[in-house]
Amino acid sequence: MAAIWVHEFADCITCHSWSPDESMIAFCPNNSEVHIYRLLDDKWDKLYVLQKHDQIVSGIDWSARSNKIVTVSHDRNSYVWNKEGAEWVPTLVILRLNRAALCVQWSPKENKFAVGSGAKTVCICYYEQENNWWVSKLIRKRHESSVTSVAWHPNNVRILLASEKLFCYKILLATTSTDGKCRVFSTFIKGIDTKDSRAGASADTKFGEQIIQLDLSISWSFGVKWSPSGNTLAYVGHNSMIYFVDDVGPSPSAQSVALRDLPLRDVLFISEKVVIGVGFDCNPMVFSVDETGLWHPLTMLAHIPGPIPLAGIESGSFRTFLRFLGERRSASSGVKSGSQFSEAFGKFYGQSKNGSSNDETSKGHGVHNNCINCILPLKRAGDSPLFRFSTSGLDGKVAVWDLQGQEDLREFL
């Protein structure tokens, strides 16, 4: 098992985030509060309770360099919390939303953050020194439903060659939505974002310009993430599919994986070759590309006949699903399709008995026993590739996982 520790903080956790030195954790216990704990002498002590929201806190992000916490809530509000002395002091964020705020993420430079909402909009927020508040510019035109997740390109400012002497500056943000689409936008804001003076002549890009729209999913989409290089984009669908898009731009290529089990909710790139997915199956799932660069499904996956129609994008290829992390292996390694079919029925008709069993090994679940809805990287200075990550779920648990001891994954890391 790859989990190195597990702690149950509450009955349910909606989201969590770590302090820059990973000594403290902030999470929402499925209410309007944010609890901050510190590990002292092998015991988690509650240090702070942030109380400003009126409804469930749906997103938390703790900045790695500036030590600021941003929170968003179903009450349509957002606050940026600064540590002043022994207290966390909130600063107002002007979101201008008429529906719930659903997700949030700091940009790599931490001068902005993005908020996805149920109002079919994305708020790009930045600080106004003279008024001591955070204001927002809205991307409102493209989304047809709620924005479920946001992800900044890891390079923050991506320079796209438009001609031999002309560069375009596009600070890219990827989003997913319950309209089933994944989109990438330019979020360059004059006066907030800076250009590289060494690049020569440049052309301004319009804020909110849509770079690409991906119509791969036929259901709700969640959990979009970029690879470390920013060359690959991954997101998941509520139809038990995960999608990979390489070379995001004018001529991207798309790959799809059909899962054997329940849908995912979030993903994380461990490296350019390895992706971790989490969701309703309660165990992290490991995906990898093979050594030839070709995407092949294992027999446990449902193969989709023919490519998924997508104008201008090569599709229909697959990545490889390796296995669940922490799953209990059965005595028989040769699982036939009939037993898989029975197992699927058991998920719907026999799941309730998991909660009544006192024997953890007989539960069919691993570390978590309810949906995992959040996965975050844990990376110390000098760590390359990423080996550790944390997960939290509706069971109120937070788990930290370490892949260094996984011999069968070593060749992919």
pLDDT digits (tens, 9 = 90+) for 280-328: 988 888 888 777 655 443 322 222 333 333 333 344 444 555 556 665 4
- Please give the average per-residue pLDDT across 176-203, as a whole number: 76
> Would you state the pLDDT for residue 168?
55
- Judged by DSSP in three states, 308 sits in coil
Contact between 386 and 379 under an 8 Å Cβ cutoff? The reply is yes
Q: How confident is the model at residue 351 (pLDDT cuts 50, 70, 90)?
A: very low
Q: How many whole angstroms separate alpha carbon 234 and alpha carbon 254?
A: 10
Q: Tell the residue number behind the tokens 């969590």, with chain if given.
A: 16
pTM: 0.82
Query: Which of 21-35, 169-183, 304-318, 396-410 is the least confident region?
Result: 304-318
Which of these, 48, 4, 7, lies nearest to 26 by C-alpha position? 48
Tens of pLDDT, residue by residue over 86-108, are 999 999 999 999 999 999 999 99
With a CB cutoff of 8 Å and minimum separation 6, the contacts of 73 are 32, 53, 54, 55, 56, 57, 58, 100, 101
Residue 115 pLDDT > 50 = yes
Measured in Å, how far apart are the chain's first and last C-alpha atoms? Answer: 17
Specify the pLDDT at position 155: 81
CB 143 within 8 A of CB 180: no
pLDDT surpassing 60 at residue 240: yes
3-state secondary structure of 72: strand
pLDDT of 190 = 83
Query: What distance in Å separates the CA atoms of residue 90 and residue 109, rounded to the nearest whole number?
Result: 21
At 250, the pLDDT band (50, 70, 90 cuts) reads confident
**What is the C-alpha to C-alpha distance for residues 277 and 269, in angstroms, rounded to an integer?**
9
Q: Which of 33-37, 266-270, 304-308, 338-342 is the least confident region?
A: 304-308
Q: Which residue has the higher pLDDT, 123 or 253?
A: 123
* 80/68 Cα distance (integer angstroms): 7
Largest Cα separation within the chain, whole Å, is 68
Mean pLDDT to the nearest integer, 156-166: 47
pLDDT higher for 168 or 178? 178
> 87-93 and 101-106: which strand pairing?
unpaired
Lowest mean pLDDT among 9-18, 22-31, 266-275, 340-349: 340-349
Measured distance CA(82)–CA(85) in Å, rounded = 10
Residue 93, pLDDT score:
95
Q: Is the peptide bond before 250 cis (omega within 30 degrees of 0)?
A: no
